[in-house]
């Protein structure tokens, strides 16, 4: 649905976007993560046909961005990071104005505007003036506007900036829903954990270079040196520390590199680098008569992953 090949943009000596290759399918929600000035907006603007690349190609639903800008724009819902609002227009007038530009006419127009307002939870401001909305409300109306023509592809440039925690959760819900509707979504952010649980894929960009691109779990896996297991065992009799006994046993495991007990009684087992299969560990606990109440891989924070993966790539 979105494909880029060596997409490149230069500003004088500065390479804002450097040979970016992306391939996203329907239902993919791609988290585009990178610090300020890394090239996120530039990349999205090129895909949206709003900016000409210096080199490379981009296709939206199989249509090249060169020579098909009308069709490509029809397929895309682009939400810029900042957009102008029109004075003396109510929310409904504003949306109807854009719906008309997309040639949504007759009773369908009003209906579609109502649906989009509902989707962003702003129906109650239908008659308010757009220039009197709060920043977060303006952001939501911007998102409603982006969805009006039922685009297949959504390019959302930091849709969550300026939103309160509740609205952020709603945006995440909306992103998930767009994925379920088989839309292809690129959503940018520098707030990393924000995207971790809604994106099916994540890409990290720095200084115009796409450093990693892949499944969220895969990226996290790459970022960590080794797996850490978190284990808790049931304390049967007071005074006999089963936890300590279990930790001693775990230290003997071939897969384990180090074992520590946290304050809350969780045993952290850091595995040797490269070890992926640790099925023998729960087995040995059970065989030794321990009753595990918790057994899981420690989650890798996306922020830590990012810092890890982008370490030392300053040009
Ligand atoms: N019109 C322009 N002229 C010159 N340089 C530009 C222009 N637009 C962008 N740049 C430069 O290109 C680089 C990438 O900018 P871009 O806006 O794509 O970053 P971004 O990742 O969206 O950052 P942010 O997180 O701050 O929104 C920056 O170094 C920026 O200064
Ligand atoms: Mg930007």
Instruction: Answer yes or no: is the C-beta of 36 below 6 A from any ligand 1 atom.
Output: yes
How much is the pLDDT for 135?
80
Q: Which CATH architecture has domain 228-299?
A: 2-Layer Sandwich (3.30)
Select from 247, 293, 238, 242 the least CA-distant residue to 268.
Answer: 247
CA-nearest residue for atom 24, ligand 1, is 36
Residue of 38, 48, 192, 208 best suited for mutating to test ligand 1, as the one with most atoms within 8 Å of CB? 38
Dihedral over Cα of 120, 124, 127, 132: its sign: negative
How much is the pLDDT for 303?
63
CA-nearest residue for atom 2, ligand 1, is 11
The H or E element containing residue 240 is none
The span from the CA of 62 to the CA of 85, in Å, is 32
Instruction: Answer yes or no: is the C-beta of 191 below 6 A from any ligand 1 atom.
Output: no
Beta-strand pair 292-297/55-60: unpaired
Q: Where are the domains of the chain?
A: 2-223, 228-299
Distances (CA, A) of 178 to 79, 187, 206, 269, 276: 14, 11, 27, 38, 33
Select from 218, 219, 171, 224 the least CA-distant residue to 198.
Answer: 171
**In angstroms, what is the span from residue 169 Cα to ligand 1's centroid?**
28
Q: Which residue has the tokens 């109502």?
A: 114
Are 19 and 56 contacting, i.e. CB atoms less than 8 angstroms apart?
yes
The span from the CA of 234 to the CA of 221, in Å, is 29
CB count in 10 Å sphere of residue 204:
24
The span from the CA of 27 to the CA of 9, in Å, is 27
Instruction: Answer yes or no: is the C-beta of 203 below 6 A from any ligand 1 atom.
Output: no
How much is the pLDDT for 314?
44
Which distant-in-sequence residues (6+ apart) come within 8 Å of 164 by Cβ? 136
Q: Which residue has the tokens 């775990």?
A: 250
Say what the pTM is: 0.78
**In angstroms, what is the span from residue 206 Cα to ligand 2's centroid?**
12
How much is the pLDDT for 239?
64
Are 230 and 266 contacting, i.e. CB atoms less than 8 angstroms apart?
yes
Select from 63, 82, 83, 45 the least CA-distant residue to 152.
Answer: 63
Q: pLDDT tens track of the chain, all 315 residues?
A: 999 999 999 999 999 999 999 999 999 999 998 888 999 999 999 999 999 999 999 999 999 999 998 999 999 999 988 767 677 899 999 999 999 988 999 899 999 999 999 988 899 999 999 988 888 788 889 989 999 999 999 999 998 877 778 778 878 888 888 899 899 999 998 766 677 778 899 898 989 999 888 887 777 777 677 788 999 999 876 666 899 999 999 999 999 999 999 988 899 999 998 888 999 999 999 999 999 999 998 876 666 666 666 665 444
Which distant-in-sequence residues (6+ apart) come within 8 Å of 188 by Cβ? 31, 32, 33, 34, 40, 41, 44, 81, 156, 157, 158
Topology annotation, domain 2-223: Rossmann fold (3.40.50)
């Amino acid at each position: 649905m979105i494909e880029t090949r060596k997409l490149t943009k230069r500003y004088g000596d500065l390479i804002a976007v450097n040979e970016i290759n992306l391939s996203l399918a329907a239902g993919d929600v791609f988290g585009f993560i990178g610090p300020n000035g890394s090239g996120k907006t530039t990349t999205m603007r090129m895909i949206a046909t709003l900016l000409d690349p210096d080199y490379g190609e981009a296709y939206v639903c199989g249509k090249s961005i060169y020579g098909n800008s009308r069709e490509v724009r029809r397929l895309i819902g682009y939400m810029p990071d900042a957009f102008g609002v029109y004075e003396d227009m109510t929310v409904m007038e504003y949306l109807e104005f854009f719906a008309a530009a997309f040639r949504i006419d007759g009773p369908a127009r009003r209906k579609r505007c109502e649906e989009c307002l509902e989707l962003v939870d702003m129906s109650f401001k239908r008659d308010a003036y757009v220039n009197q909305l709060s920043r977060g409300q303006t952001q939501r109306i911007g998102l409603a506007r982006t969805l009006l023509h039922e685009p297949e592809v959504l390019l959302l440039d930091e849709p969550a900036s300026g939103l309160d925690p509740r609205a952020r959760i709603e945006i995440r819900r909306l992103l998930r829903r767009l994925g379920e509707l088989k839309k292809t979504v690129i959503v940018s952010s520098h707030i990393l954990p924000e995207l971790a649980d809604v994106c099916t894929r994540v890409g990290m960009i720095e200084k115009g270079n796409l450093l990693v691109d892949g499944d969220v779990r895969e990226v996290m896996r790459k970022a960590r040196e080794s797996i850490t297991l978190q284990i808790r065992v049931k304390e049967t009799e007071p005074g006999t520390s089963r936890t300590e006994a279990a930790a001693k046993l775990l230290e003997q495991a071939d897969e384990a590199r180090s074992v520590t007990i946290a304050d809350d009684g969780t045993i952290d087992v850091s595995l040797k680098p490269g070890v992926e299969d640790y099925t023998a560990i729960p087995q040995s606990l059970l065989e030794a008569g321990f009753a595990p109440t918790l057994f899981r891989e420690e989650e890798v924070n996306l922020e830590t992953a990012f810092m890890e993966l982008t370490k030392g790539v300053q040009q």
